[in-house]
Amino acid sequence: MALVNVTNMSVLDNPTSFSNPFQFEITFECLQELDDDLEWKVLYVGSAYDSHQDQVLDEILVGPVPVGLNKFVLQADAPRVDKLPAEEILGVTVVLVTCSYREREFVRIGYYVNNEYIPEEPTEDPELAQKNFDPSRHLGRVQRQILADKPRVTKFPIPWGDATVENTEPMIDQSQSLLKDLPLQEGTPSTAATMEMDE
């Protein structure tokens, strides 16, 4: 049984400019006193074809964790554009929020992210504007929208105590499973900013 369960996550400041920080308000329940801190991480998938393009936007330790409900805001800087393939800055990608205990990941929450270039002139042809997009000149016109109502939650069994327990469930590369379908259309609005984790 997991000793920590994420019960709710809200995406703040969404939609927003591409260069603004990611902000997630996380509520989780701790069922028992923990000996060590929890490690939270935000990962941005830079390319659907090359995992080496992924960027860890932030890693923080949270602790000591009191028993009961806990809430905090996890903020991470936007990805470094100079480390992203220019042709994949726009369009759909994935951001992951993970939590680990004693270096063992036990929950991963993935969101689709849509980065859309908003032309300066409303009459400008959108397709032509996307084609002529230059990150060095037009990044300020890129809007980032997280599809907050379409999360993918993956949980992994881990040992919480001193005894070593084998992980009987294979680790799933959730970023790849998210990118596999991409049923999303660019510009699809997302009105819901909160998801309930308990099922």
Rounded to whole angstroms, the Cα distance separating 158 from 122 reads 52
More confident residue, 190 or 72: 72
Rounded to whole angstroms, the Cα distance separating 187 from 165 reads 45
What pLDDT is attached to residue 190? 30
Both tokens of 171, joined, read: 């680790």
> Which domains, and CATH codes, for the chain?
4-181 (2.60.40.1490)
Choose among 1, 58, 9: nearest CA to 30.
1
Are 107 and 155 contacting, i.e. CB atoms less than 8 angstroms apart?
Answer: yes
Q: Calculate the CA dihedral of residues 44, 57, 21, 186 and round it to 10 degrees.
A: -10
pTM of structure: 0.78
Rounded to whole angstroms, the Cα distance separating 53 from 192 reads 29
Across 7-16, 135-144, 184-193, the highest mean pLDDT is recorded for 7-16
Are 21 and 78 contacting, i.e. CB atoms less than 8 angstroms apart?
Answer: yes
Choose among 193, 146, 113, 144: nearest CA to 17.
144
- Would you say residue 14 has pLDDT above 60? yes
Both tokens of 154, joined, read: 């993956």
CA angle 108, 155, 78 (to 5 degrees): 5
What pLDDT is attached to residue 194? 32
Are 71 and 25 contacting, i.e. CB atoms less than 8 angstroms apart?
Answer: yes
- Would you say residue 181 has pLDDT above 50? no
The pLDDT confidence band at residue 182, using thresholds 50, 70 and 90, is very low
Summarize pLDDT for 120-151 with one digit per residue, the tens: 776 566 666 666 677 767 788 899 999 998 89
The SS3 call for residue 88 is: helix
